Structure 1
Amino acid sequence: MSWQARIDRALDERRAASALRSRRVVEQGAGRYLFQDGKRFCNFSSNDYLGLSHHPEVIRAWQTGADRFGVGSGGSGHVSGYTTAHHALEAELADWLGYPRALLFISGFAANQAVIAALTGKYDRIVADKLSHASLLEAASHSPAQLRRFAHNDAAHLRTLLASPLNGQQLVVTEGVFSMDGDSAPLVEIARATREASGWLLVDDAHGIGVTGPGGRGSCHAQGIAPELLIVTFGKGVGVSGAAVLCSEAVADYLLQFARHLIYSTLMPPAQAMALSASLKVINSGEGEQRREKLAALIGRFRRGAGTRVTASQSAIQPLIVGDNDRALRLAEWLRQAGCWVTAIRPPTVPPGTARLRITLTAAHEEQDVDRLLEVLDDAGE
């Protein structure tokens, strides 16, 4: 089969399954409102959970950083790109989250891929929650290690898999808050099972950091555990972009030698690091606490109105499972026609038969926004 025939066949299969992905050009898409073709939509698809992407202090910090450092880092952190702004941010993150070291990455995807690729060998085993993010599962499947998946949030099944004989080491992988279902991992039970098997635990807390736990320190702090590897990303609750790996001194030094995604990528702009430092200050402040409280109130308001139509998620991610791909697309379009921007998520991002509307709430929303969304959903049901 030729290259073109292979491509055409794959695209035709996606179209036939109503699973073809596309991008929509928007004028602005991170805040309370999304604008497209001159129309305004209330935005229920943003991961900017605390509404910090438009915070004046965060914006000002980026502008100040651009004036001082320019708009790029100019190279890998191993060459010339590692500035005082990056060094300060890593120190702030390590102190805030209670780890000896933090290493910055350009994205959460890169951080997950780098850590798994650098740490695991052919005699090792990776035991991952079956609903872990694609970046984690892809890295695990491409690594030389054996990959096993445990049933979602099932510590008993995890224990069974960990008990199987092995010559190498075991790495347990999970998320803190799951990106598509919005539910939280039972981290205490998972950490205990991992420790009993003498393994290491990696927690990707992309959707928990900034939002959950004391001071917004995330899922692990909320549940009182400290995994060997904590990965936090900055494009959700922190409101910017990028990621960091929190770990021991020895692991940090090891990753600096062997993590190819870190060594061979241009580091994030110093101005971005300054914006991230400013965002962390807001998250740690009384204002940050107020934003988390407001978000929690909006989540409660939505859940009371939605009832059994949504899953048991207590997070900002509120999935409405539709099942059929076509129906999910039609429902998303119905909502857009009514001024509510909600995205339909379909396989292979989620398991077959679980197409859904992934509704996300943020501290930028107001009560009337939630009430309007509920009203439109009621109309759609009728």
Structure 2
Amino acid sequence: MAEISRPHFNAAYEKGLMGVSCRVGDYRRIEIATTGQQVVDYTRCGYLNLDSHPRVLAAARAAADEIKSVHFSVARTRLSAEPLARLESTLSNLFQVNGVVVFPTVAAANMGALPLLAAGLFTGGVKPLIVFDRFAHVTLQYHIPVLREETDVIVIEHNDLEHLERLCQSHPLVAYVGDGAYSMGGAAPVRELRSLQDKYGLFVYLDDAHGISVVGKRGEGFVRSQLSGLDHRTVVAASLGKGYGAAGGMLMLGSHDIENAVRRYAPTYGFSCAPSMASVGAALASAEIHMSEELGMLQRSLHQNLALFDHEIPTETIGSQLPIRIYRIGNEERAIATGEYLLERGHYVSVVFFPTVPRGEAALRMAVTAAHDPDDIRELSALLRAREGEEAVETNGVAVVGSDEAAPALV
């Protein structure tokens, strides 16, 4: 994999498309530190611009003063700062679940929870067959070798419900692991998975890092908004960064037994793995915004920009409320050249290539936010038309599902 992708990584770094250091301005504009160039940024995932909200920033600064510490360096199984307990209680009420456990990152949440799932601690002592979606994020699939020490693990094609149902029919207990909103576009079939839960007792673990806050009346996310409740057969991991606008990760839990297992046995819960006090303060402030009318206003601004983007730059996910758009180019060198072309003209996008997507399916990945200026989106569209021609605009899309060379998403 490294030998195949190294030339493209080298080219992307050399052309200033990766490893960029910046200073942040308004309306998703950044200044590239090495050149001073001002560009519109489509790479950061602060979908509602809460990461720049004055109340969130002020709360982050105040939290460390309140607790008189930047980081509460102690195992959480022994001692926790009161604001962290307050945050977990606030999030449980906000998202209407039995419990929420907060982690420094979503990756840490997954690292702590998935081995417990494999060991049967989430399923009454019965070790499930664990089934991964082929496009599940790398921070999920990274743990497969560890999980296989406890139970059987297989990987199926993306959103292959027929295969999943056959496995449910032939195994006493199956646990499905995937993304809620996929980082390279598209989403999990949540209602169909719920049907398999009702029919076969399927356990579902979904990482909704990109769906949180942008969907739902209270920002409960793409997954939680489609479920009337969260029961003992469902765990939703999510980000406290991205759309939520603070920092950290969390597990939404529908069972106190699962919560107890996480708090006692997840290694990333204990061992000095608490979030920083600044991130806790920021998350509490963001929760207040989530409970106000302001959240709906920000969501509407995002959806207006998504509608404009879809009109100007149609992609396979046209009409989706989720904020990631993928513009396929195909050839890796051409995609890198297009990214460089846009950067030179003031627009910075993510150029994605193998192993993030299959070979020959290189693309531009754009995170649309509530703070983007509509005129900037129109200019991006005009630049893409000028670069690729009308035919490319009409035929762009996402990575081909089921390619033998597709890898877990790395972004």
TM-score, normalising length: structure 1: 0.90
Q: Which residues in structure 2 correspond to 1:134-153 (within 5 Å)?
A: 134-144=138-148, 145-153=151-159
Match of 2:62 among 43, 46, 64: 64
Determine whether 1:186 maps to 2:189.
yes
Give a deviation string over 1:348-380, Cα, whole Å, max 9, x none.
122333211101110111211211111111111
Give a deviation string over 1:89-134, Cα, whole Å, max 9, x none.
0001111112111111111111112111122139531112211111
Determine whether 1:369 maps to 2:376.
yes
Residues in 2 aligned to 1:32 and 1:205: alpha-carbon distance in whole angstroms = 23
Structure 1 residue aligned with 2:131: 127
Give a deviation string over 1:210-260, Cα, whole Å, max 9, x none.
001222211123323536211111121011221111212111111122111
Matched-pair contact (CA < 8 Å) for 1:238–1:279: yes
Structure 2 residue aligned with 1:350: 357
Classify the secondary structure of the residue corresponding to 1:132. coil
Match of 1:329 among 310, 317, 336: 336
Match of 1:380 among 378, 387, 404: 387
Match of 1:26 among 22, 44, 51: 22
Classify the secondary structure of the residue corresponding to 2:243. coil
Matched-pair contact (CA < 8 Å) for 2:212–2:239: yes
Q: Which residues in structure 2 correspond to 1:209-288 (within 5 Å)?
A: 209-225=212-228, 226=230, 228-247=234-253, 248-288=255-295
Residues in 1 aligned to 2:180 and 2:223: alpha-carbon distance in whole angstroms = 7
- Label 1:142 to 1:29 Cα distance change in 2 as closer, same or farther (>3 A): farther
Compute the RMSD of aligned alpha carbons.
Answer: 2.1
The number of aligned residues is 367
Structure 1 portions without partners, runs of 5+: 1-9
TM-score, normalising length: structure 2: 0.84
Classify the secondary structure of the residue corresponding to 2:218. helix
Deviation, 1:31, is 6.0
Residues in 1 aligned to 2:362 and 2:153: alpha-carbon distance in whole angstroms = 26
Classify the secondary structure of the residue corresponding to 1:172. strand
Classify the secondary structure of the residue corresponding to 2:114. helix
Residues in 2 aligned to 1:289 and 1:23: alpha-carbon distance in whole angstroms = 34
Structure 2 residue aligned with 1:35: 31
Matched-pair contact (CA < 8 Å) for 2:77–2:264: no
- Of 67-76 and 21-30, more deviation after overlay is shown by 21-30
Residues in 2 aligned to 1:15 and 1:128: alpha-carbon distance in whole angstroms = 27
Residues in 2 aligned to 1:275 and 1:324: alpha-carbon distance in whole angstroms = 41
Deviation, 1:154, is 2.9
> What fraction of aligned residue pairs are identical, expressed as a percent?
25
- Of 25-34 and 314-323, more deviation after overlay is shown by 25-34
Residues in 2 aligned to 1:350 and 1:87: alpha-carbon distance in whole angstroms = 39
Determine whether 1:15 maps to 2:19.
no
Structure 2 residue aligned with 1:76: 75
- Label 1:160 to 1:252 Cα distance change in 2 as closer, same or farther (>3 A): same
Residues in 1 aligned to 2:135 and 2:273: alpha-carbon distance in whole angstroms = 30
Classify the secondary structure of the residue corresponding to 1:328. helix
Instruction: Give 2:29's aligned amino acid.
Output: Y
Residues in 2 aligned to 1:184 and 1:29: alpha-carbon distance in whole angstroms = 31
- Of 97-106 and 194-203, more deviation after overlay is shown by 194-203
Moved over 6 A (4+): none
Classify the secondary structure of the residue corresponding to 1:263. coil
- Label 1:78 to 1:121 Cα distance change in 2 as closer, same or farther (>3 A): closer
Instruction: Give 1:193's aligned amino acid.
Output: L
- Label 1:228 to 1:165 Cα distance change in 2 as closer, same or farther (>3 A): closer
Deviation, 1:146, is 1.7
Residues in 2 aligned to 1:311 and 1:289: alpha-carbon distance in whole angstroms = 22
Structure 2 residue aligned with 1:359: 366
Instruction: Give 2:82's aligned amino acid.
Output: T
- Of 324-333 and 135-144, more deviation after overlay is shown by 135-144
